[in-house]
Structure 1
Amino acid sequence: MLRHLYHSLMFRLGLMMAAIILLAVLAASSSLMMANRIKGEAQSVNLAGLLRLQSYRIAAQLVYDNSIDQTRYRNDLAELITDFERQLASPALTAVAHAGRNSDLEAAYGLVVARWRDEINPMLDMYLSGLANADDPISEGAQTVIRARYLDNVPAFVGIIDDFTGLLARDAENKIHRLQLYQYSILAATLLLALLTLYLTYRKMRVPLQALLQMASSAGQGDFSGRTRYQGKDELGQLGAAFNLMSTDLERLYGDLEEEVRNKTADLERGRRSIELLYRTVNRLQGTSERPVDYRGLLTDVEELADTGPGTICLCDDVDMGAVMLASTFDKNYRGDGCGFDDCARCLRHENAEMVTFDELGEDGLPMIAVPIRDHSLHYGVLLIQLPEGQSPEPWKKRLLETVANHIGIALTMSRQATERRRLALLEERSVIARELHDSLAQALAYLKIQVVRLEKNLQSPQDSKTTGAIIVEIRQVLTAAHRELRELLSTFRLRMDRQDLATVLATTKEEFDGRNAVDIRLDYRLRHSELDANEEIHLVQIVREALTNVINHSGAKHCSIRLESLDNQDLQLTIEDDGKGFTETSERQFHYGLTIMRERANILGCELECGVSRMGGARVRVCFTPECRRSGITRSDRGRA
């Protein structure tokens, strides 16, 4: 505790301020004390002067003519003697004379008192007693002798009083001199302490505080390299040491933060470049029939954004177990095709991204990273990327290249799936065409073949000309119907081959029949999305075309409506209505082939064809069936993904 106080700056400054205050108090108290003493000395000097004056007044009284008023004379003289004794015994004189500080002054006062008591006062008492005794008055001669003796002793007595007065004055001067010396000493000590305080304040406070303020200013500007040189054990020294320690910690922390910021900035930049590369990769891999996939541009993007060298994409060749180069950004002078390995298995055998080395025309090995191109269990090939000389692939760059390779694998898978879907769609279209031809033209041709055989037999019997004519009429009707159905099939297949959806096909069919006559045909399509397969769409379109053909040719209607909707029980319902003459025996006979075709197609859809009276008063044809996808629980989008 004491050691801490000894090194405490505040304690030192407090001691100095206390010393200065103490000196000021001492100076003030000494001044007051000296002032009081000097005040007494001045009074004693005045009294000593009065003693001298009183001695002369007594002498003057003695020589005064006493014949005028004897009593008054005697009283005045007695009063003067009494005043002298009172002044001689006054406390001011006795205090100074008997203070014990000046023996000469005390001796001089004693000499004055002794001379007065032993010589002067007895002489005057004798003189007054003689004057006061009326029975035995003092003679004139005796009075004269006493007066003469007093006057003779007065100069010597006044000289003694003068010596005493001089001693009093010199004693007062000495006290004033000592007071001045004391005041000067206190003033010098005060100035010395003040200078020492200022020096201590400058060395122990101003300099350290200025250094601390400079450190704080530098720290405010981000510079934590400054250190204070003041290393004392006082408060500012401890504060400076704490500041130095804090600056060291802040400098290290700030450096760590700056390093972390640089690392985070680099990570963000790498992330941005990675995202941009993946974005470009996805865009380039979305090839179409009009714009094929630009694999060379993809390699250029990898070289630009991943900060690598040129690269090559090689795909596995299932024929000779080798590889086929898909794209490359290497210089053509490098092995001619950008590949430095004669054995393709050296690149294709890797299951993960690995480093490989190419021998470039006998020079040092060229470091490259081989990244397998795969999609789940499908292995398509390898992505070869050259690395800067002397560098190994960083983890983030390795993951980025693996992601790019995976995207390439996914794109190749999707390309193969798209090719397979197109092939299956083509086979499905061929199957539909074959079935439609078999169900329509093939049956019509078989029927015509039978009629031709009948015609040949009737021609061999000329007498049966009536039957021959009926056969010819029947052949003509079948040919007409077959020709019409062929045209409708061609129109339907042409729309299907344009890959249009069911709503567009129905709208096109409506426009086609609108242009043939003045019947107002309205289409009410209420399906949000088509869930029909190709066969079901063909059958629905053919039913609509067959019904519209009958409306135009046989009904005599002015208005016709087509409505396709989905019912609450997940069935689809197709309704065709008109305001014509409806179904009659004649119209049914004329419409026999069309009704037969529609019933057959309805049976294929798994339902019955309903014929009746419409709300408009004409004919109504209705088909209500459950689509195959709803029966099996598979949607059309699921079939597309499959």
Structure 2
Amino acid sequence: MKSRTSLVNRLAVVVGAVVLTALVSMAATLAVSKSIEGNATAINQAGALRMGAFQLLSRAAGPKQYERDTGSFAGLTEKYTARLINVGITKAIPEDPEHPLAKQYQTILDSWKSGLKPTLESHTPGALVNADLIEATDAYVREVDQMVTMLEERTEARIDLLHLIQIISLAFSILIILALFIDLKNRVLRPLRKLVDIAGAVRQQDFSHKARLKGSDELAQLGHAFDQMTSELALTYHELEERVRSKTEELEKSHAALQLLHTSSRSLFANHDLCDGAVPMLQQLEQLLGIGPMQIYLHDKNSSQPVQAVTTATRERPFYCRDHHCNACLVEPEQYEELPVEDNDGRRLLLPIRTPGQLLGTLEVWYPADRELSQTARRLLETLSDQLATAIFLERQITEEQQLTLAEERTVIARELHDSLAQSLSYLKMQVARLRRLNIVGEQEATHEAILDELSTGLNSAYRQLRELLTTFRLKLDTPDLSSALQYTVEEFSERLGKPVQLFYNLPPNTLSPNEEIHTLQIVREGLANAVKHADASEVAVEVSFESPKVKARIRDNGKGLPGGDQPVNHYGLVIMQDRARTLGGQVQVKNREEGGVEVSLSFIPKSRNLIPTEAPSA
């Protein structure tokens, strides 16, 4: 189909048709010309036969003086016979004996041989021409005239045929040329004009023009290609516009996000609470980039698994939340179910929060599964992770420096206490011992003994507290976190008790400040000391946990319990524990347990602004 409708093939067909027409016309003309070749000669000679017949008749009717030329008359008849069968005449006669002209020629021959010639030969020279001779001559001449007429009609018919062939060839050539012009107009000029218009429209960024050419020739294929090209250009141009618009929106979002990061970085570094400093910034960043929720997980040396520190969307109050008036991260269950989380066809991006040589945590970003994060959004999130890493690292460094400074200060204080207060207490104890050796009798003896007992009790308690304080100071110097310090303390009192003391530690890392850790440790040690010294217990357990927003420490034993079931009055150790608890903003309770034994419980809300994760590590 394609080869038939090709422009080149159509032009070849037209040219071939014109050439074929010309060839047919020329061949027909040549054939007709060839067929009438010699007809003029035959007509002339046939006409001469009439004149020859009359000459013979005139000679036969001549005077007697021509009698001697009788021999010449016979020669004339022979010549006439030769002229009658001359090739000039026979050549124009068809070979088919059934042809009318061949029959007419044969009739003339028969008329001559059997009619006129014998009549002329039998006529007496010089005699009058009789009616038979004239009738024979007229009859013969009429046959000759008939043949001449037939030759003329045949020649004119061939000439008319030649004219008809020329007219038909001319008309066919004109029709071919007209068809060629019409075809060129419809198949070449109009398509070319449409293609030029399309090219002009494309130059003006107008891709709506279409050629819509029918057929499968070269220009139609070119038109189809132009239509496809304009469609693809329109799609590409639309895609480019969309990409430009998308890039513009992305740049605007990026600019807004950078401004947000710049503004929020100040509060992030100024506010030592990661939750308060990061959640508003993360939520605004989610709105700008169309992502969320986002979580921050921190890595701690005391925890084998990363623990969650911040979330931007949760249905329940996070475990680490210390401000129950803050609802920034709380959302309705319906809202949470629409977020792209793991159970809701979401995709997750994990970015490390790291400093050179140290992995501090992980930034978890959820986004819809039906679209990809742009490179700009990824770079912004990477910048955010770098800022978080810097803030967390600086906070940890500040905390460690505070702990180190506090440990150094307490070491100095411990040394000073050992060198001054401890020696003074030892001196006072020796003086009390000397007073006991004095023999005082009389009314003052009971008063003297009571005063000595009170002094001895106070000095022993003060000396014991001093030893505990020195032990704590030295312990804190070697163990830079509460978990290690408690483990060391439990091992120490297990040896003193002779039985293992159980420790249940469920406090997230970096929950307490160094000062809060010291007070908590001292209260636990005081409770353990009382259990070992007074409880007569076989089982002692220590539990330190975070029950949002409070930190709770419990020391339980299965000993004999408190006399009367109430807290002891004016117990020196209990007074110190109460003072420490008030320093922490909490309280200490001492009570008997229903199943037996005593429970010492400490409860307070941390005031430190440290990084507190949501999940507590395993005990």
TM range (shorter): 0.3 to 0.5
Larger CA Rg, structure 1 vs 2: 1
TM-score (norm 2): 0.41
TM-score (norm 1): 0.40
If asked which structure has higher relative contact order (CA below 8 Å, sep 6+), I would say 2
